Amino acid sequence: MVATTRSKANGTITKVLGASRAGVTKRTKSSSAGGKKAVSTRKKSTQIPAAGVVEERPASPHGTNAPLIAPQANSTAVLQIRRHAPATTNTILDLATAHLLSVDSSLKSLIESHPCEIFSAEGLAEPINPFQNLVSGIISQQVSGAAARTIKSRFIALFTPTPTCPQPFFPTPEMIVACPNDNLRSAGLSGRKAEYVVSLAEHFIDGTLSPEVLSTAPDAEVIERLTKVRGIGNWSAEMFLMFGLKRMDVFSTGDLGIQRGMASHFGKNVAKLKAGGKGKWKYMSEADMLRLSEGFRPYRSLFMWYMWRASHVSVEALTEDSGAGKGKGKGKPGAKAKKA
């Protein structure tokens, strides 16, 4: 079965490949209309594409560029088919870099020293299970990377894969909702994190969050839907848009590393600001951050990447789980991440 749905928000078309009733539950007119010639009767594979296979696809600064994997059993990837896309996955990083340099040529040394892999052709080819990434982010809240990996491994081990589950295995939302809270906590999750994970699973089950929504909805709508989940705040949602969905015009004024990087890049004495800071002080006001970043549209995600580099912040913790889930409030990766 092949179903297509058009997004009024950005004019993209989403193609749902081989989705069973256990996967995408909303049927479109094109998938239910009679008399249509079947595109294919062969069951689509739920395997993640082999590493090293990079297929050039249309890409856009105004939407999701990551191929998404539906988290339910019997479901496969949900991919976008864009019409009149301004770039491809092989060219969009070059276009974005050229735009940044046209706005601010002083970024050249940062760009040459720190290649951005997440928006490279290889980075954009990586299939993303949005549910898995968001769960991983919740698990990672307020713990070290090593502890998060251990808890995640124990968490996955609580569940038994079925023959129809996508591989590599990660529990489906339905499995998690059916799991007793005490079992979830036995993997190392706190009581609150167990509640957060269940809340997230419920939002995927009821359709508030789905690969289709995450592929086609505007940034503001995705953030609104994500922040309805307990344990996910604005910063967490913004990081997921950038590192998980590979959206290229995300900008977070609540990130301490971005504040510090912008202050340094635009000529402020960061050490003096820090030494004189009292109470809830900031390296730079949100109004100034928005004003100075405006010219970098529609590639502000890439601009953020280089502002992290300007403040010597490692983003490894974010790229490992594709962002999301560092707490309900504003995140501060610059204050917690390892120095590069």
User: Domain residue spans in the chain?
Assistant: 89-340
Q: What's the gap between Cα 301 and its chain centre?
A: 12
The arrangement of secondary structure in 89-340, i.e. its CATH architecture, is: Orthogonal Bundle (1.10)
Q: What does the angle CA 210 – CA 314 – CA 239 come to, to the nearest 5 degrees? A: 20
Indicate the helix (H) or strand (E) that contains 136: helix 130-139
Higher pLDDT, 10 or 275: 275
Rounded-to-integer distance, Cα 321 and Cα 138, Å: 10
d(CA 285, CA 87): 34
The candidate with the shortest Cα–Cα distance to 69, out of 16, 127, 20, is 127
Q: Give 33's pLDDT tier (boundaries 50, 70, 90).
A: very low
Task: Flag the least confident range among 45-49, 115-119, 290-294.
Answer: 45-49
In what order do the strands lie in the sheet containing 77-81?
2-6, 13-17, 77-81, 68-69
In this predicted model, what pLDDT tens digit does every residue of 210-259 receive, in sequence order? 998 999 999 999 999 999 999 999 999 999 999 999 999 999 999 999 99
Cα distances (angstroms) measured from residue 102 to each of 27, 79, 310: 45, 32, 18
Does the annotation count 255 as an active-site position? yes
d(CA 258, CA 163): 44
Which is catalytic among the residues 104, 255, 288, 321?
255
* Cα dihedral value 201, 202, 206, 207, nearest 10: -40
